[in-house]
A and B are shown apart, each in its own frame.
Chain A
Amino acid sequence: MPNPSIGLVDKKSFTLPGALTLESGERLAEVSLAYETYGELNAERTNAILICHALSGDAHVAGFHPGAEKEGWWEIMVGPGKAIDTDRYFVICSNILGGCMGSTGPSSINPVSGKAYGLAFPVVTISDMVKAQKALIDHLGITKLLSVIGGSIGGMQTLEWSISFPEMVFSAIPLATTQRHSALAIAFNEVARQAIMADPHWQHGDYYGGPKPDLGLAVARMIGHITYLSDTAMRHKFGRRLQDKNDFSFNFDADFQVESYLRHQGSKFVNRFDANSFLYITKAADYFDLTTRLTQEGKSVLSKALARYLVISFTSDWLYPTRKSKAMVKAMKKHNINVSFCEIEAEWGHDAFLLPNPRLADMLSGFLDRMTKEYHL
Chain B
Amino acid sequence: MRFDLEVIASWITPRAKVLDLGCGTGELLALLRDQKEAACTGIDLGEDNIQSCIARGLTVIHGDINEEVDDYADHTFDFVILSQTLQQVYAPETLIKTLLRIGRRVVVSFPNFSHWRCRCQLFFQGQAPTTSQLPYYWYNSPNIRVITIKDFRAFAREASFTILSEAAIDTDSHEHQGRIVTFLPTIRATYGIFLIGSQGQGNE
Q: Which residues does A use to contact B, with CB under 8 Å? A: 308, 310, 326, 329-330, 333-334, 336, 338-345, 359, 362-363, 365-367, 369-370, 373
Contact = CB atoms under 8 A, between A and B. Distances in A.
Contact of B62 (A334, A342, A362, A365): A342
Task: Give the most central of A333, A339, A345: most B CB within 10 Å.
Answer: A333
Given A326-B63, A330-B71, A340-B61, A366 B47 contact: no
B57 A343 contact: no
A174 to B, nearest CB: 14
Given A329-B61, A340-B60, A362 B55 contact: yes
B57 A367 contact: yes
Nearest to A343: B62
A310 B54 contact: yes
Contact of A342 (B50, B71, B73): B50
A339 B59 contact: yes
Contacts of B123: none
Given A341-B63, A365-B55, 19 more contacts: A326-B63, A330-B71, A333-B71, A339-B61, A340-B54, A340-B58, A340-B61, A341-B50, A341-B60, A342-B47, A343-B62, A344-B47, A359-B51, A362-B54, A363-B55, A366-B55, A366-B56, A370-B57, A370-B58
A341 B61 CA distance: 5
Contacts of B73: 334, 336
- When A and B form their complex, which 9 residue pairs have the shortest distance between CB atoms, in order from nearest? A370-B57, A366-B55, A333-B71, A362-B55, A363-B54, A342-B62, A342-B50, A341-B61, A330-B71
A345 B47 contact: yes
B76 interface: yes
B61 A363 contact: no
A362 B72 CA distance: 28
Contacts of B63: 326, 341
Interface of B: 41, 47, 50-51, 53-63, 68, 71-73, 76
29 contacts: A308-B59, A310-B54, A329-B61, A333-B68, A333-B71, A334-B71, A334-B72, A334-B73, A338-B41, A339-B59, A340-B53, A340-B54, A340-B59, A340-B60, A341-B50, A341-B60, A342-B47, A342-B50, A342-B54, A342-B62, A345-B47, A359-B51, A363-B51, A365-B55, A366-B54, A366-B56, A367-B57, A370-B58, A373-B57
B59 A366 contact: no
Task: Give the most central of A342, A343, A344, A370: most B CB within 10 Å.
Answer: A342
Contacts of B56: 366
B85 to A, nearest CB: 19
A6 B47 CA distance: 31
B51 A362 contact: yes
Contacts of B55: 362-363, 365-366
A291 to B, nearest CB: 15
A330 B72 CA distance: 8
Contacts of B51: 342, 359, 362-363
Contacts of A344: 47
A342 B76 CA distance: 21
A159 B41 CA distance: 21
Contacts of B76: 336
B59 A338 contact: yes
B62 A341 contact: yes
A308 B40 CA distance: 13
Contacts of B59: 308, 338-340
Contacts of A369: 57
Contacts of B58: 340, 370
Nearest to A338: B59
A359 to B, nearest CB: 5
Contacts of B60: 340-342
A365 B72 CA distance: 28
Contacts of A340: 53-54, 58-61
Contacts of B71: 330, 333-334
A6 B72 CA distance: 43
Contacts of A329: 61
A372 to B, nearest CB: 10
A191 B62 CA distance: 35
B40 to A, nearest CB: 10
A340 B26 CA distance: 13
Contacts of A373: 57
A367 B55 CA distance: 6
A203 B73 CA distance: 54
A25 to B, nearest CB: 37
Nearest to B42: A340
A91 B71 CA distance: 34
Given A326-B63, A362-B51, A333 B57 contact: no
A329 B72 CA distance: 11
Nearest to B59: A340
A369 B56 CA distance: 9
Given A334-B71, A342-B50, A344-B47, A366 B57 contact: yes
